[in-house]
Structure 1
Amino acid sequence: MGIERLMTTTLEQRAIGALTGLAIGDALGMPTQSMSPRDIAHYYGGPITCLVDAVPEQPIAPSMKAGAVTDDTEQAFLLAQRLIADRGDLDNNAYAHDLLAWEDAMRAKGSLDLLGPSTKAALKALAEGVSPELTGRFGTTNGGAMRATPVGIAFAPGASLAQEARRSCYVTHNTTQGIEGTMLVAAAVSYALEGDANPLQSAISFVNDHPAQGYWSAKASVLVRTERLMDWLDSKGRHVDDERFAHMLRYEIGTSVEANESVPCAFAIAARFATDPMRALCFAASLGGDTDTMAAMAGAMLGAQYGSDAFDQAIAAQVLRQLQQDNGLDPAPVAQALCALRSAHIGSASSASQDSE
């Protein structure tokens, strides 16, 4: 099935595709996360082209089985479930308790190494009684962005999308960088679900129109870096080969957990490989650095644009099977419930507009 045909999928099918793409990207990048390109080539025999077991030398998820997901997928579904329970009006105090309960479950499984640095610090502060409005004031990494997909599904582009994207990352990433990254991914997913012809550029415009706010940090802007990388891609980047493109991302942008590195990379990868989503995710998984999160964000944005059929169906089936068996998660009913929230908010906004006339 060609990409042109995939673009005719329904909003609900694209929403399922967003959550499925997130999980596939996460699973492909799981074995290589925090590894260098040299180590990836050494331990896996070259670039990632399919689901593989993590080697014992994997620094974060040693020996995890092929197809397993990380905190990227688990936290995205946790946020989705909270949005659904709160009918789209996110209760941050309840969400903070959800995160603490989830952390306890991670500890029981011996999986705390999977937590990102900002999330670890925020949850420690939460456990010590710090207000959720303050726990994320130093969080500049990509934890908010990696779990932003449900917000993009639940809200059409507009003020509510901006508000809930900001609110969704206050607990762990309440900085300008953390919020910008979250809003960019949420908006890209939301515009893709609308059938927008260029959802990535529309997301950039959206965040420019809805300033991120949040606590100040001396680190570079996620939005500005994303804009500049996308401009380079349009003017010069499409003419370089994959090796030069990868070199540029690694050495001129960075592929770390910092939102101002990994979010621009995910946007550039999704744009460069827009007509070949599986190639995009395998490229991200082979890049080095925070591979699982870059692949997860790219997978969510491309899945939102084209639906689940854009991905290799054997790989998708394995990831979805393990997601249900190991994590008790299923994208379809979650996507359906989030789409219902989207419809309800659109209806409410329409009614409010008519009442004011």
Structure 2
Amino acid sequence: MTALDRALGAFYGLALGDALGMPTQSLNRETIKQRFGQITDLQDAGPLQPIAANMPKGSITDDTEQAILVGELLVEGKGRIEPAVLAQRLIEWEAEMQAKGSQDLLGPSTKRAIEMILAGHSPEEAGRYGTTNGAAMRITPVGIAADVADPERFIAAVVQACQVTHNTTLGISSAAAVAAVVSAGINGLDLGEALNLGQQIAQQAEAHGHWVAGGRIASRISWARSISVESDPVLLADLLYDVIGTSVASQESVVVSFALAQQVAVGEMTPFDALCMAASLGGDTDTIAAILGAMLGACLGLQSWPAAMIETVKTVNDLELEPLVQGLLALR
């Protein structure tokens, strides 16, 4: 399997997870069970979806769109992201979404940071309250472009991509964990080894950003990976939803993605089944499934995803990620 195959697996895995979770995002588990049963395929959003009403099945959301935006900035900047430019692009992106009538707008941390930048604060200051999963959801291109074999440079690249919106211990360490798994997968590490490295890099990355109270990302990942439910998917889903939590808080949603990736690593689930569980959990389903898809795809390659579904996602969203992914790999 080539690095390109793994990088495409990561980016299209992110898009597929995002699309699977699109119709269920922001709903609770009971509502998802009533409307969809279990998610096992791409579904239309329907009129009652609070964020993505009536979006057709296979549609991506802010997770994939903002990851593409970060990827394009990396290629334009030859591996460097200027925080002020990222802020400007995110402002433009939200304006486009509003013009389309979409409710899928900037998350709470990103919104607050951009308001601070517009009010004249520095990028470093603007991100000091960002603890949610917005940085982790759009960090995959950094994992493709930067090599985790040089941890210091790698973490610096992650910090640069996070700083303007998520300049906190939680925001940076959760994004670093995800990016490290993607980067390790592209280097050919198997999924278990890549998850170990993600945990280690999360711990090192905690030295950056403003300290924020909240469960430590590396410690929570370590604990979540130790969950054993004897092949009982219902019990697993209960634990993830009730005990870890599926909110936009990075110490919940990002940790749930690692818990599910671990189930794939130990052979309890197929990659696609894990994405379907992520999309069925409730809460921030599109982001949990998008992050999970990126990590699994990087380690297991593009062929781990159902080809027909990837085609649907490409067609519905007019998505052609190959040139962008090749540009990111060239930076690596």
Q: TM-score, normalised by structure 1?
A: 0.88
Counterpart check, 1:60 vs 2:48: no
Alpha-carbon distance in structure 2 between the residues aligned to 1:227 and 1:90? 30
Alpha-carbon distance in structure 2 between the residues aligned to 1:317 and 1:335? 17
Counterpart check, 1:257 vs 2:248: yes
Alpha-carbon distance in structure 1 between the residues aligned to 2:247 and 2:290? 14
RMSD between aligned residues: 1.4
Work out which of the residue numbers 216, 220, 235 in structure 1 matches 2:211.
Answer: 216
Please identify the structure whose Cα radius of gyration is greater.
1
Q: Deviations over 1:100-147 (max 9, x none)?
A: 111221221122444321122222222333222111111110000001
- Is there any run of 5+ residues in structure 2 with no aligned partner, and where? none
What are the residue-to-residue correspondences of 1:184-333 with 2, within 5 Å?
Answer: 184-197=177-190, 198-230=193-225, 232-233=226-227, 237=228, 239-274=230-265, 276-324=270-318, 329-333=319-323
Alpha-carbon distance in structure 2 between the residues aligned to 1:318 and 1:228? 36
- Is there any run of 5+ residues in structure 1 with no aligned partner, and where? 1-8, 343-357
Alpha-carbon distance in structure 2 between the residues aligned to 1:238 and 1:195? 29
Counterpart check, 1:137 vs 2:128: yes
Alpha-carbon distance in structure 1 between the residues aligned to 2:168 and 2:200? 20
Q: Secondary structure at the match of 2:129?
A: coil
The corresponding residue for 2:35 is 43
Alpha-carbon distance in structure 1 between the residues aligned to 2:146 and 2:118? 31
* CA-CA distance at 1:212 after TM superposition: 4.1
Identical-residue share of aligned pairs (%): 46
Range 74-83 or range 273-282, more displaced: 273-282
* CA-CA distance at 1:92 after TM superposition: 1.3
Q: Is the CA contact 1:70–1:114 (under 8 Å) kept in the aligned structure 2? A: no
Matched residue type, 2:33: A
The corresponding residue for 1:121 is 112
Q: Deviations over 1:21-67 (max 9, x none)?
A: 000000000000011111001112x0001011012111211111111
Counterpart check, 1:29 vs 2:21: yes
Alpha-carbon distance in structure 1 between the residues aligned to 2:8 and 2:229? 29
The corresponding residue for 1:17 is 9
Q: Secondary structure at the match of 2:57?
A: coil
The corresponding residue for 2:328 is 338
Q: 1:107 to 1:250 in 2, by over 3 A?
A: same
Q: Secondary structure at the match of 1:239?
A: coil
Q: Secondary structure at the match of 1:64?
A: coil
Q: 1:278 to 1:34 in 2, by over 3 A?
A: same
Aligned length: 325
Q: Secondary structure at the match of 2:128?
A: coil
Work out which of the residue numbers 111, 116, 139 in structure 2 matches 1:148.
Answer: 139
Could you list the structure 1 runs, at least 4 aligned residues long, displaced by more than 3 angstroms after superposition. 209-212
Range 191-200 or range 128-137, more displaced: 128-137
Q: Is the CA contact 2:133–2:253 (under 8 Å) kept in the aligned structure 1? A: yes
Matched residue type, 2:237: A
The corresponding residue for 1:346 is none
